[in-house]
Structure 1
Amino acid sequence: MPPPKLSKKIESIQGVRLVGSSSTWNIKLEYPSDSLGTIASITPHESSGDDIPPPLALPALTHPHIHLDKAFIHNAREYSHLLPCTGTFQEALSFTTKAKESFTEADLLKRGEWLLAESVSSGVTAMRAFVEVDHTVQLTCLQAAITLKSQWSEACHIQIACFAQDPIFSSEYGEENRTLIKKALDTYPEIDVLGTTPYVESSVEASKENIEWAIDRALILDKHVDFHLDYNLDPGKEALIWHVLQTLQQRGWTSRTTRRRVMLGHCTRLTLLTDEEWNQISRFIHENNLPVSFVGLPTSDLYMAAPPDQGGPHQRPRGTLRVPELIRKHNLDAVIGVNNVGNAFTPWGSADPLFLACVGVGVYQAGAQDDARLLYECVSTRARAAIGLSAETSLIVQPGVCPDLVLFHDRDDTGCGISRPRTSVAQVVWDPPVRTSRSVITNGRVQVKLSGFDDVKFEYA
C-alpha cells in the first residue's frame, strides 16, 4: 500500500475560516529551505458571494504515543486465535507475547500501513511510534518501522521510539533484552527516543535501575526518553515518578541536553495523589526546569487499569490522568494519546485522535467550548510540542508556523444530500466529522483524495 499522493507545494490557500474569527482568510505559504515550508502571511479573503460554507482551518493532529508494531493484531487473520477471552491485563500481556512470536516483516509492514493510512487520513502529520526490541522479536519491529518511516516521510513525521516492553534488569532474558536495546541504539540513527517500562520489572529496585539506565543512555546518545510508568491503581505501591524526577535532577538532564524531552505515560497510580502531592511534583519540575510531559492514554487506561479486588464487581474504579486539570490547576505539561488500537490492550477505539478528544469530553467532564479547544490542543499542537517537534501550542494559525493543517469541510456524509456545518473547534471535537470531510496538508502539500472540495481554492507554487 503506497502512502497518499501529495500535491505540488501550495503557494496559497484561499477562503478559510480560522479560530476566533467569523471572517474568511487567505493563507500564503513560502519555502525558505528545500524541505521545510512555513506560513508567510494571512490576509482577508474577498468573498465570491456564493453560499458554500468555507472550511475551518486548524493545526494538524499528532500521535504523541502510539504502538506501531502492535496495531490491529485483532484484524490480522494469523492472530485470530488470540482474541481476548477474559479481557485482563495479564491476558493482554500473555496474548501479545504469543503474537510477537509470529511477527514477520511483511506482517509488520501490512499492519503498520493500516495504522499510518488511518492516522494520516485523519489529519495526523507527526507521531511518536513505539516499536519493541527484545529477545522475542529481536530487531524485526524496528527494521519495519525504519522502512515505514522512510516510505511515509513526506506524509508524516514518524519519530521512532526503541521500546523495551519486557524487563531489562530482571527475568532470565533481562540482560539479553538490554543488550539488544543497546545494539539497536548504537546501530540505527533513525531512532529518536528510548522507551522502557519500569513497572514490568520483578522488584522496585530493578524498576529504579531500569529508570536510571534509560536516563543515562538517553543522555549519552542525545535521545528523548519515554517511560511507561506507574501503571496501576494500588495505593500500596510506591509511585516511581519521584525516582524519575530525582534521577533527572541528579544527572543534570537540563544542563546536559537542551533539545531532548522526557515523557511519562499512563501514570494511573498518580490519580490517587492529593492536590498537595501534585503541587509538589509541579514545583520540583519547574524549580529544576525539567522538560517533562505527561501523556494520558484514556482508551487503554480505562479499559486496563484497575485496582486490586476490594469488595466485588461494583467497587472497581477506573483511572486515567485528568489531563485538563494537570494543565490548568497544576501548571503541568500534559497531552493525550491513542496508545494502542486493535489489540488486547485496547480492543476498542480508532486511530483518529479526534475520537480521543471526543472521548475526553466525557472522561474529564469537559463540555465547555474552552475545554474543547484544550482537548484539540492535546491531540494537536500541545502533543507536537511534547514530543519535541515544536514550541507552538496555540490553535491560531499564524505566520511563522509549520504549514501542517487540517481543513474541515461541510460535506454530506449521510447520502441524503444534507450536510451539517461545524463552525467551531467545539463542534469538531464534540462530534468529529468523517475523514472524507477533512483535507490534510503536510508541509504545504495537500493529500490528493478521490474527489476534491469546491469550498476552498489552492494555488500552487
Structure 2
Amino acid sequence: MPPPELSKRVTSIQGVNLTGSSSTWDINIEYDSGSPHGTISSITPHESSSHDKAQAPLALPALTHPHIHLDKAYVHNAPNYGHLLPCTGTFSEALSFTTKAKQNFTYPDVLKRGEWLLAESVSSGVTAMRAFVEVDHTVQLTCLDAAVTLKDQWKEACHIQIACFAQDPVFSSEHGEENRRLIEGALGDYEQIDVLGTTPYVESSAEASKQNIEWAIESALKFHKHVDFHLDYNLDPAKEPLIWHVLHVLRERCWTSRSTQKRVMLGHCTRLTLLSEEEWQEISRLIHENDLPVSFVGLPTSDLYMAAPVGETSPHQKARGTLRVPDMIRNHELDATIGINNVGNAFTPWGSADPLFLACVGVGVYQAGAQDNASLLYECVSTRARAAIGLSSDASSPTLRVGGDSDFILFHDRDDTGCGVSRPRTSVAEVVWDPPQRTSRSVVANGRVQTVNMGDDSMYKFE
C-alpha cells in the first residue's frame, strides 16, 4: 500500500477561514533552500466577495499521535489472529493474548497492519506520530525493522518518531536480561530510533520496577533519546505511585542539564487519579522547580476500557479512571495531552485512529462542553501533542500563525451524507463536537496537499 499521492509544494492557499476571525485569509508558505519543510511566511486578507465566507474551508493545525502502538494495530482485523479475540476483556487477558499474537508477528504482517494504521491516520489529518514498536526475545527486531521501512516510505506524508519499546520485563523473568540486551543493541545500531519506551509496572516487584526506571533514564541519556514510560496503570490505592521515583531519578541524574532537547513522557498514570490535591501540587512543584521537560499523556479509550479497581464484586461499582487532562493543564500548569494508544487489539478493541474521535470523546469524559474546552481538546490532539513529543516548541491555541510549519487541515463544507445536503463546520468547537468525515478534510503535510480530497485546486498556488 503506497503513501497518499501529494501535490507539488504549495506557496499559497487562498480564501480560508481562521478561528476567531470573521474574514477570509490567504496562507502564504516559503521554503528554505535544501529543506523540504515549509514555513508560514504571512497570512493576508483574501480579496473576495462577501458570500465567499460561507463556502471557505476552516484551516486548523494538523493532528498528531503522541502515543500509538504501530506493531499491535489492527490485530483483530487480521485473519491469522482470529483465535485471539477478547473473551473476558480483562487486562490480564490482553497481556496474555498480545504475548501469543507476538509469537506470530512477521515482517510482512507488521508492515501490512502498520500501513493500515498510517492510512487511517494520515487521511484523518495526522502528519506526525510517536509510534511504539516492541523489541524483545519474542519478536527480536522484526517490528523495529518494519517501522524503519514505514518511516522512510511515508516520510513525505507523516513524520514517524520511532519508540523502541520494552513491553516485557527487563529486570524480571527468565528473559529480562536478554530483553535488555536486545534493546540496548537496537539503541546503538538504529539511528532511526528517537525514543526509548518502557513499562515498569510489568516487572515482578516494586524494586524491579524502580530498576527499570533508572535503567531507562540512564540509557536514554547515554543514547541521547527521549524517554517514554507507561506508568502507574492501575487504580489500586495500596500501590505506591512510581511517578515519585521517576521525578526523583530525573532530578538526581540531572536530566535537564544532560539532555537539553530531549523530553520525558508519562503515559496512562491512572493511579494518579486517586491522588489528593496536595499531591498534585507537589508533582507540579517538583516539575517546575527542577525545570523538568515532563509531559503527561492520557489515553482515555484504553484507560476507560482497561483500568479498573481490583477486588470489586458488584458490577455496579466498576469505577474507571483516566487522567483529567484539562484540569492538569489549567489548575496545575502541567504539560499534558491525549493519545489514541491502541486500535483494533485486546487492549483497545473499540475506537478509531482518528484523533478527532478522541477529542470528541474527551468532551464527555472530562465534562468539557464549553467552546474554550473544545479548543483545548483540539490542542491536545494537535499542537500540544506535537510539542509534547519534542517536534515543536509551540503548544499554543489552534490558530495558524506566521512562522508556524506548513502542516494543517482544511475542513470543507462537503456533502458526506449522500443526500445532497452538507453541513459546514465553521469553528473549532463544531469540529470537536461532531468531527466531519475524512472526505471533508484536505490534509497539507510539509506544504503538499493529499490529492485525494484536495477539492478545487484553484484555491492553491504551487511552485
* TM-score interval (norm. to shorter): over 0.9
Q: Is the 1:56–1:409 contact (alpha carbons within 8 Å) kept by the matching residues of 2?
A: yes
- Offset of 1:50 from its aligned partner? 5.1
Partner of 1:19: 19
Structure 2 distance, partners of 1:371, 1:55, is: 22
**Distance between the aligned counterparts of 1:455 and 1:432, measured in 2?**
24
Question: SS state of the match for residue 366, structure 1?
Answer: coil
Q: Secondary structure of the residue that 1:193 maps to in structure 2?
A: strand
What corresponds to 2:450 in structure 1?
447
Render the CA deviation track for 1:155-184: whole Å, top value 9, x for unaligned: 000000000000000001100100100111
SS at match of 1:202: coil
Paired-residue identity, %: 76
Q: Does the residue aligned with 1:314 lie in a helix, a strand or coil?
A: helix
Partner of 2:48: helix, strand, or coil? Answer: coil
Matching residue of 2:39: 38
CA shift at 1:398, angstroms? 1.2
Amino acid at match of 2:432: V
TM-score w.r.t. length of structure 2: 0.98
Q: What is the alpha-carbon distance in structure 2 between the residues aligned to residue 306 and residue 234 of structure 1? A: 9
Structure 1 residue 396, shift from structure 2 partner: 1.5
Partner of residue 164, structure 1: 166
The root-mean-square deviation of aligned C-alpha atoms, in Å, is 1.0
1:452 positional shift:
4.2
Corresponding residue number in structure 1 for 2:278:
276
Note the C-alpha offset of 1:48.
Answer: 4.1
Partner residue, 1:324: 326
**Deviating 4+ runs (over 6 angstroms):** none
Deviations 1:200-259 (A, max 9, x none): 000000000000000000001110000000000000000000000000000000011110
**Partners of 1:168 and 1:201 within 8 A in 2:** yes
Q: Distance in 1 between matches of 2:458 and 2:221?
A: 46
Residue 313 of structure 1 and its aligned partner are, at CA, apart by: 1.3
**Partners of 2:443 and 2:454 within 8 A in 1:** no
Secondary structure in 2 aligned to 1:371? Answer: helix
Partner of 1:312: 314
Q: Please tell me whether the aligned partners of residues 136 and 179 of structure 2 are also in contact (alpha carbons under 8 angstroms).
A: yes
2 CA distance for matches of 1:214 and 1:255? 17
The answer to whether 1:62 aligns with 2:64 is yes
Q: How far apart are 1:456 and its partner, in Å?
A: 6.6
Superposition pairs of residues 21-170 of structure 1, within 5 angstroms: 21-34=21-34, 35-48=36-49, 53-170=55-172
The answer to whether structure 1 residue 300 and structure 2 residue 302 are counterparts is: yes
1:402 alignment partner AA: D
Three-state SS of the structure 1 residue aligned to 2:386 is helix
Distance 2:139 2:22 in 1: 53
Paired AA for residue 178 in structure 1: R
Q: Matched residues in 2 for 1:257 and 1:454: separation?
A: 46
Structure 1: runs of 5 or more not aligned: none
- Tell me the residue number matched to 1:396: 399
CA distance in 1, matches of 2:238, 2:377: 32
Match of 2:421 among 412, 418, 423: 418
- Whole-angstrom distance in 1 between the partners of 2:153 and 2:438: 22
Q: Secondary structure at the match of 2:55?
A: coil
What is the rounded CA distance, in whole Å, between the counterparts of 1:275 and 1:455 in structure 2? 53
Quote the Cα distance in structure 1 between the aligned partners of 2:385 and 2:331.
19
- The CA deviation at 1:53 is 1.2
Is the 8 Å Cα contact of residues 301 and 319 (structure 1) preserved in structure 2? Answer: yes
Instruction: Give the whole-Å Cα distance in 1 for the aligned partners of 2:33 and 2:443.
Output: 21
Point out where structure 2 has 5 or more consecutive residues left out of the alignment. none
Contact 1:16 1:456 in 2 (8 A): no
Residue 453 of structure 1: how far off its partner (Å): 2.0
Cα distance in 1 between the residues matched to 2:378 and 2:174: 44
- With 139-148 and 390-399 compared, the bigger mean Cα shift is at 390-399
Q: Which residue of 2 aligns with 1:252?
A: 254
Q: 2:189 aligns with which of 184, 187, 190?
A: 187
How many correspondences in the alignment?
460
Deviations 1:39-59 (A, max 9, x none): 000100011455561000000
Q: 1: distance between equivalents of 2:327 and 2:50? A: 44
Partner residue of 2:2? 2
Which residue identity lines up with residue 403 of structure 1 in the other structure?
A: S
